């Protein structure tokens, strides 16, 4: 049985505290500059590796921390309470890249890449294309076998960590006539011939997180870099995204928590009509409602993570957790801006950034409508 949701083991509690201290001491001082530059501070990236945040679930035998998905959730939440861009950098590495390789890759690929992913190499997950978002399996990138090499041609869009990554898990179709049953996964290194990173998107939120285009122009992939079986990529993608949604849920509860914490402090300091704004019952009730919704979302995210760690079914719970946490993040960050008044609309205070960062939660790794679709199908199954 999974542990009670709110009960953390001593190891989990110590890990959570270490990440919280790291977020405050190393990430927070860099947030404004990273936001202005629209990129992560390059000096911060090695620190993620040093703390073990880039290989949380990678076994110790491969140089990782040998932790759990729940520990990844704790890390992503703590980082998101300070900066959602730093959090998604860590989240994608763990829930989409490492998790995919751990479950689907050959022993050879694991031995070649997991130790590097745990210690120095940034990874990215490349499924989306300009014409295939929610319809992820409408992708047009093609793969063709030539002797002991695969040749990939196509373009990928919205690839998180695209600017920093050196390993890309790319999905391509080996036989378009088979539709989604032709989709196959490949491990692609930045230095492979025919591979390049295209334009970087200029975004509303999570601005320091790179979102880039990938260009595969007769890109040559060694046969040994095939992940799983030919034509099994659709299953690899679906199951990996189910895990990824839990990570996004963690990001959203962290964003909401950061905004709420800032608001709780501000309303005690801000004076109106001769007393702190916190003394007004209307404000108190708004904060109470926000805190209640945030706790509900947190419990759903923790529950989904505990279920997966326990080897139990979690697809519906992951979809529910992402759906609710994204909705709560939008509501709580919007309230935060309102509670700060005119100051909340300026970049001098942190809540406008939390508000912008929250919006992506309803879009990536499955839109809110796609989560509703998944939940409904499983309910009616």
H/E segment holding residue 13? helix 10-22
Report if pTM > 0.95: yes
Q: Rounded to the nearest 5°, which phi and psi values hold at 271?
A: -100, 135
Averaged in consecutive runs of 10 residues, what is the pLDDT profile of the chain (381 residues)? 66 97 98 98 98 98 98 98 98 98 98 98 98 91 97 98 98 97 98 98 98 98 98 97 98 98 98 98 98 98 98 98 98 98 97 98 97 98 91
Q: What is the DSSP string of 246-313?
A: HHHHHHHHHHHHHHHHHHHHHHHH-EETTEEGGGSHHHHHHHHHHHHHHHHHHHHHHHHHHHHHTT--
What structural domains does the chain harbor?
Answer: 10-121 (1.10.540.10), 124-233 (2.40.110.10), 235-380 (1.20.140.10)
List beta partners, residue 186: 170, 226
Q: What is the pLDDT of residues 239-281, one digit of tens each?
A: 999 999 999 999 999 999 999 999 999 999 999 999 999 999 9
pLDDT, residue 3, reads 44
Catalytic annotation, residues: 365
Q: Using CA atoms, how far apart are residues 48 and 235, in angstroms rounded to an integer?
A: 30
Query: Is there a contact between 225 and 109 (Cβ–Cβ < 8 Å)?
Result: yes
H/E segment holding residue 111? helix 107-119
pLDDT, residue 335, reads 98
H helices of the chain, where? 10-22, 31-37, 45-50, 69-80, 84-91, 99-104, 107-119, 233-269, 281-309, 315-339, 351-358, 368-380
């Amino acid at each position: 049985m999974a542990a009670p949701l709110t009960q953390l083991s001593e190891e989990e509690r110590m890990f959570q505290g270490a990440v919280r201290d790291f977020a405050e001491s190393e990430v927070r001082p860099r947030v404004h500059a990273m936001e202005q530059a629209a990129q992560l501070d390059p000096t911060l990236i090695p620190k993620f590796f040093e703390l073990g945040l880039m290989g949380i679930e990678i076994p110790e035998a491969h140089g990782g921390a040998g932790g759990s998905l729940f520990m990844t959730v704790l890390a992503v939440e703590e980082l998101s309470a300070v900066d959602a861009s730093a959090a998604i950098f860590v989240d994608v590495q763990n829930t989409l890249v490492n998790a995919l390789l751990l479950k689907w890759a050959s022993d050879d690929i694991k031995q070649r890449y997991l130790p590097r992913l745990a210690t120095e190499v940034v990874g990215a997950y490349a499924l989306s294309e300009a014409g295939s978002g929610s319809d992820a399996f409408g992708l047009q990138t093609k793969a063709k076998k030539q002797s002991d090499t695969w040749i990939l041609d196509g373009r990928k869009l919205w690839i998180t960590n695209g600017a920093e990554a050196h390993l890309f898990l790319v999905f391509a179709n080996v036989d378009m006539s088979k539709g989604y049953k032709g989709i196959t996964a490949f491990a692609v290194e930045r230095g492979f011939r025919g591979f390049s990173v295209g334009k970087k998107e200029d975004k509303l939120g999570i601005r320091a997180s790179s979102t880039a285009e990938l260009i595969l122009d007769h890109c040559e992939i060694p046969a040994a870099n095939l992940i799983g079986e030919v034509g099994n990529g659709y299953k690899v993608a679906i199951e990996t995204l189910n895990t990824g949604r839990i990570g996004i849920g963690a990001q959203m509860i962290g964003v909401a928590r950061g905004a709420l914490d800032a608001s709780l402090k501000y309303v005690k300091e801000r004076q109106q009509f001769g007393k702190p704004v916190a003394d007004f019952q209307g404000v108190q009730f708004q904060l109470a409602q926000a805190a209640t919704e945030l706790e509900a979302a947190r419990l759903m995210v923790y529950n989904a993570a505990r279920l997966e760690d326990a080897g139990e079914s979690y697809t519906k719970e992951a979809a529910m957790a992402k759906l609710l946490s994204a909705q709560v993040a939008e509501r709580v960050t919007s309230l935060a801006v309102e509670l700060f008044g005119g100051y909340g609309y300026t970049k001098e205070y942190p809540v406008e950034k939390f508000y912008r960062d929250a919006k992506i939660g309803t879009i990536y790794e499955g839109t809110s409508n796609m989560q509703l679709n998944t939940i409904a199908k499983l309910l009616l199954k």
